[in-house]
Chain A
């Protein structure tokens, strides 16, 4: 089809404006993180402060004991959730993908409905549960909560992925003496690397970004995760913007790297799994 010229021009115009709006706030925070505190409070729009680029904000944060501790806590929680979440979701998804049994449809439906649970409804009873088992103010409370919260979406996505892998492959494997678990572990999982990558990414991001439960379950300053720790910096009357900006960059970079590595898989996964359910 011959494109009229105005469509092409209009398309580029809209894309350019949209791309600027999408990227500009991120760039602004990024450049701000390299300014000295006093130059942030300027009404002039400057990409680089008058005294040039400074790494002082990063140095200050990265040498602070509490920020290091929060970063480690977040890494530990997110890593544990990634591993446990993938394992739980993959086994369940395999059962749902490879077997027809009574209660299968109900199980699928439950996973769908579970995506609707507001975190807030779990907040009160989970708080009580962790108090009673002595896990309040402990990182395992978060690992347990986040792994479970990430499960429904992950199961549906991995199931859709497993569905695309022909069953013949496992049958062939069984002829060669692989058991049922061997078929899952040696054949289906290795063929599902993109699906597993997305599930891992989803688990990691869920854990890395969650604030509400963490702020309710964690008390001691050395136990906080990054979102909760960062929120202790926030002071409506005197925001330390230089630190918030640098912290934002430090916190976002791991996620953005993963995101752009995983985005191709993420998108095709969303299209086959998340969206079609």
Chain B
């Protein structure tokens, strides 16, 4: 290990400069903009003088008082928790099964990785085809179970369920693989010792497997929550936030506001989202049993 630190800075300089210019400077600028009334008409161009003014915390008040924002906020939390819950539990189930000596294990593992390999927006488009009310594949099954045909993107509660199905499908493989790695890191002799002591399979699972997965789980759940909270593509390419904006999560709502030209308000949404995640991860690191 070397300590000539200027060499280290030389190695890191290009990256740090890029990060400063493209991530941190914009972040500061976004924050400043949240205190203004900047929009696409007054932002100024080469041909027109900028004419926006500072408006203090008005954008934050506007955002937090907006019922659509409040609705999107609650739905984002439900969306995140439900998704990560299923990602984790289903991923754990499959990881435990795949961790056994089974014939055909590699084949199953490869098939189970398919949803991860497909670009997420393509998955969302493909599932939209399957959800289609008239000829979609899924409605053949619901008809079979006597639920009848469902208009997935316009009927309550299915417009909430449909994007969750897509994202659970897409997100399980990552958790499965990460947890499988965690399982393989648990020393086998612990299980042997437990067996000698007469522990049941179930007891081994709760007392060896679950604690052994703690540090991996802590990290992947944190990552899963952050990713799902910010996941734009699934909502956008399934329900498009509809019907009537009901399935907008915060990021798709912010994008919609951006497209309407309300730059300051969109930036405010961004800062609020970022603050939520920062506060959450600070609490999480404190509450989590191990360093995340």
Q: How far is the CA of A45 from the CA of B281 in the complex (A)?
A: 46
- Residues from chain B with a CB closer than 8 A to the CB of A124 are 30, 33, 258, 263, 266-267, 270
A101 near B273: Cβ-Cβ < 8 Å: no
- The answer to the question of B22 belonging to the interface, with a C-beta cut-off of 8 Å to chain A, is yes
- The answer to the question of B147 belonging to the interface, with a C-beta cut-off of 8 Å to chain A, is no
Q: How far is the CA of A206 from the CA of B123 in the complex (A)?
A: 15
Measuring CB to CB, which residues of chain A are less than 8 angstroms from any residue of chain B?
A: 1, 3, 7-8, 11-12, 14-15, 18-19, 21-23, 25-26, 28-29, 32, 40-43, 45, 87-89, 91-92, 94-96, 98-102, 104, 107, 110, 113-129, 131, 144-145, 147-149, 151-152, 155, 167, 180, 184, 205, 208-209, 211-212, 216, 227, 230-231, 234, 236, 239, 241, 244-245, 248, 251-252, 255-256, 259-260, 263, 267-268, 270-271, 274-277
- Residues from chain B with a CB closer than 8 A to the CB of A28 are 126, 129-130, 137
- Residues from chain B with a CB closer than 8 A to the CB of A155 are 15
- Residues from chain A with a CB closer than 8 A to the CB of B33 are 124-125
The closest CB in chain A to the CB of B266 belongs to A124
B273 near A211: Cβ-Cβ < 8 Å: no
- Which of B81-89, B111-119, B155-163 interfaces with chain A? B111-119
Q: How far is the CA of A81 from the CA of B255 in the complex (A)?
A: 24
- Residues from chain B with a CB closer than 8 A to the CB of A147 are 18
A251 to chain B, nearest CB (A): 6
The closest CB in chain A to the CB of B43 belongs to A128
Q: How far is the CA of A45 from the CA of B263 in the complex (A)?
A: 47
- The answer to the question of B14 belonging to the interface, with a C-beta cut-off of 8 Å to chain A, is yes
Interface string of B214-228 (1 = CB under 8 A from A): 011001100100100
B111 near A120: Cβ-Cβ < 8 Å: no
- Residues from chain B with a CB closer than 8 A to the CB of A22 are 111-115, 169, 173
Q: How far is the CA of A76 from the CA of B168 in the complex (A)?
A: 32
Contact A96:B30 (CB < 8 A) given known A25-B123, A116-B277, A275-B216:
no
List 19 interface pairs A-B (beta carbons < 8 Å), by A numbering. A1-B195, A15-B102, A18-B90, A18-B94, A22-B115, A98-B8, A100-B2, A107-B12, A113-B278, A115-B226, A121-B267, A122-B27, A126-B22, A131-B45, A151-B15, A151-B18, A209-B233, A236-B240, A251-B122
- Residues from chain A with a CB closer than 8 A to the CB of B263 are 124, 127-128
Contact A101:B5 (CB < 8 A) given known A148-B19, A244-B125:
yes
The closest CB in chain A to the CB of B126 belongs to A29
Contact A211:B121 (CB < 8 A) given known A15-B94, A25-B126, A124-B267:
yes
A209 near B121: Cβ-Cβ < 8 Å: yes
- The answer to the question of B209 belonging to the interface, with a C-beta cut-off of 8 Å to chain A, is no
B1 to chain A, nearest CB (A): 6
B140 near A120: Cβ-Cβ < 8 Å: no
- Residues from chain B with a CB closer than 8 A to the CB of A127 are 258, 263
- Residues from chain B with a CB closer than 8 A to the CB of A245 are 126, 129
- The answer to the question of B108 belonging to the interface, with a C-beta cut-off of 8 Å to chain A, is yes
Contact A94:B11 (CB < 8 A) given known A11-B100, A99-B5:
yes
- Residues from chain A with a CB closer than 8 A to the CB of B93 are 14
B274 near A117: Cβ-Cβ < 8 Å: yes
Interface residues of B in 10-32 (CB under 8 A from A): 10-12, 14-16, 18-19, 21-23, 25-27, 29-30
B255 near A15: Cβ-Cβ < 8 Å: no
Q: How far is the CA of A133 from the CA of B219 in the complex (A)?
A: 39
Partner of A19, one of B14, B112, B181: B112
B3 near A100: Cβ-Cβ < 8 Å: yes
Q: How far is the CA of A167 from the CA of B3 in the complex (A)?
A: 13
A92 near B254: Cβ-Cβ < 8 Å: no
- The answer to the question of B79 belonging to the interface, with a C-beta cut-off of 8 Å to chain A, is no
Q: How far is the CA of A131 from the CA of B236 in the complex (A)?
A: 25
A275 near B5: Cβ-Cβ < 8 Å: no
**Main DSSP-derived SS at the B contact region:** helix
- Residues from chain B with a CB closer than 8 A to the CB of A167 are 1
Partner of A120, one of B22, B129, B232: B232
B12 near A96: Cβ-Cβ < 8 Å: yes
B90 to chain A, nearest CB (A): 8
Q: How far is the CA of A277 from the CA of B223 in the complex (A)?
A: 11
- The answer to the question of B110 belonging to the interface, with a C-beta cut-off of 8 Å to chain A, is yes
B181 near A270: Cβ-Cβ < 8 Å: yes
Q: How far is the CA of A268 from the CA of B22 in the complex (A)?
A: 30
Partner of B140, one of A45, A128, A231: A45
Q: How far is the CA of A229 from the CA of B178 in the complex (A)?
A: 34
B137 near A45: Cβ-Cβ < 8 Å: yes
Partner of A212, one of B123, B181, B232: B232
A268 to chain B, nearest CB (A): 8
Contact A12:B102 (CB < 8 A) given known A211-B232, A211-B236:
yes
Q: How far is the CA of A8 from the CA of B130 in the complex (A)?
A: 32
- Residues from chain A with a CB closer than 8 A to the CB of B21 are 148
Q: How far is the CA of A234 from the CA of B191 in the complex (A)?
A: 53
Contact A129:B26 (CB < 8 A) given known A11-B97, A99-B5:
yes
Q: How far is the CA of A241 from the CA of B135 in the complex (A)?
A: 11
Q: How far is the CA of A271 from the CA of B169 in the complex (A)?
A: 22
B254 near A255: Cβ-Cβ < 8 Å: no
- Residues from chain A with a CB closer than 8 A to the CB of B278 are 113, 116
Q: How far is the CA of A155 from the CA of B23 in the complex (A)?
A: 15
Contact A14:B94 (CB < 8 A) given known A123-B258, A252-B118, A260-B117:
yes
